[in-house]
Structure 1
């Protein structure tokens, strides 16, 4: 075979090998591209599925839960003050104002009234006699807040806007909750001041 023919044959072989190499490289490149796209697709799907879950977890628990938590905090603090102020229930800063025990008993009564209004079963009975025994008063405070929390968590969003009458005033159930809980925070401040005046440090401040 002449040198010219050998050169043509060699070129033909090399060209075929190069074409196959290019085709092979293209196949590999296409395979890797498909693999990358598939991985991105899986990641995108995972993110899409996780976003609604994250949004659901980030949603606030609701007004009812917030009110219930606040009532729980008030319960803990009033009960703690009733314990450390045992023996000083008759103390008052002056004439014409409530004593230590009067404030605690007022909280028990308010919780009973509010729970009745929220649940639709208002208490129309006679006002209970003041509790003077420290242990019984602490238990009464705890029990009154437990009942109040049950009434709060049993409310739907529509229930919160239902009209009620409290202390002769027209308002919604949510308005009644805000009124009483705000009033109790003021009485909590009053009870803390009573304790400090008697040299007693609130337990949660130690």
Structure 2
């Protein structure tokens, strides 16, 4: 069993790692042709869902004023009020969803975004997470911005899994529910505990 950092930092990084491992496994296992596919007209393609997760991570780090690892700066020094800067980031992210479509480019961006979140979060002290930041027109804590990254990732991971299953793709990890096939039904367990 892998050792974990104690407390909130370890719990957060553990959850992030689950999403990272599953998303990258899914992205790598997916055939190239699914990358341009979407279940219905007007919805994101499979590649756009993965890019949306990645640029969401980078965008939230930028909103929170956190420099990313490796000098990755997708947005530069944006001018204007908060709404104008937010709109510029959203427009750039939407453009990336349409233009970053090749499988390996998508995987590379997704992987770099997870590395950026992991490193940035790992470098934040508990006190730093309590710092107030502006994000989407609200005053909140840096901790909440990191939680938003995690929930946004899981939200769209579910979307990517649904796309892959609809496409007919098997998941590239074992079905966790199969482990319960050998467990007796609850009714049998209740009978045996009542008999004692």
Does TM, scored on the shorter chain, surpass 0.5?
yes
Aligned to 1:65: 10
1:140-170 CA-partner distances (Å, limit 9, x unpaired): 2111101110000111111111111222322
Q: 2:40 corresponds to which residue?
A: 94
Which structure features the higher share of helix residues?
A: 1
Out of 51, 57, 62, which is 1:105 matched to? Answer: 51
Deviation at 1:135, TM superposition (A): 1.5
Instruction: Kindly name which structure, 1 or 2, has the bigger radius of gyration based on alpha carbons.
Output: 1
5 Å-filtered alignment, 1:93-172, equals 93-117=39-63, 120-121=66-67, 124-125=75-76, 127=92, 129=96, 130-172=99-141
TM-score, normalised relative to structure 2:
0.67
Q: Distance in 1 between matches of 2:142 and 2:64?
A: 6
| Count of equivalent residues | 148
Q: Which residue of 2 aligns with 1:4?
A: none
Partner of 2:173: 204
> Structure 2 unaligned runs (5+)?
77-88, 176-196
Deviation at 1:96, TM superposition (A): 2.4
Q: Which runs of 4+ in 1 moved over 6 A?
A: none
1: CA distance between counterparts of 2:161 and 2:108? 19
CA–CA distance in 1 between the matches of 2:123 and 2:131?
Answer: 13
> Match of 2:154?
185
Q: Distance in 2 between matches of 1:139 and 1:166?
A: 26
Separation in 2 of the partners of 1:149 and 1:102?
A: 22
Aligned-partner Cα distance in 2 for 1:83–1:184: 17
Of structures 1 and 2, the one with the larger relative CO (CA 8 A, separation 6+) is 2
Residue pair 1:114, 1:148 contacting (<8 A) in 2 also: no
Could you tell me how far apart the structure 2 residues matched to 1:121 and 1:147 are? 9
- What RMSD over aligned residues (CA atoms) do the two structures have, in Å? 2.3
Q: TM-score, normalised by structure 1?
A: 0.64
Task: Identify the match of residue 79 of structure 1 among 24, 27, 38.
Answer: 24
1:99-157 superposed Cα distances (whole Å, 9 cap, x missing partner):
11110111110111233345634854362633222112112211110111000011111
Q: CA 1:190 to 1:95, structure 2 compared with 1: closer, same or farther past 3 Å?
A: same
1:93 shift after superposition = 1.6
